[in-house]
Structure 1
């Protein structure tokens, strides 16, 4: 986890996670990646799971 994407409590925001997902899909040089390799795919699914947790937390805090 990149230190610049972590808040003081160790949780990334939805915006930060979305940016990390975009960067993963863009690949090196900012060009869209046609396919993700196995490691990138695992990272993608981990980021999505983390994003879902953040979104659920945000909904609970809003309520």
Structure 2
């Protein structure tokens, strides 16, 4: 089952999302399953949104 992207609402901190990415994919030589890859892609999108949000708050 492919996870659904996060909906509108509060954005989790980039640090939290980054930690989840690292736990999912501990080393680049490790191959992800298609389900893990889908989760990874969603996490990267969420991380980018969190990073943008944190930059805007800092400005």
Output the CA distance in 2 between the equivalents of 1:16 and 1:61.
Answer: 17
Extract structure 1 runs of 4+ deviating beyond 2 A.
none
Output the CA distance in 2 between the equivalents of 1:54 and 1:11.
Answer: 6
Structure 1 unmatched runs, 5+: 1-8, 27-31
Structure 2 unmatched runs, 5+: 1-8
Larger relative contact order (CA 8 Å, sep ≥ 6)? 2
Higher helix share: 1
Partner of 2:11: 11
Q: Give the root-mean-square deviation of aligned CA atoms.
A: 1.8
* TM-score, normalization by structure 2: 0.73
Greater C-alpha Rg: 1
1:1-35 deviation line (CA, Å, top 9, x unaligned):
xxxxxxxx743211111110010013xxxxx4620
* TM-score, normalization by structure 1: 0.69
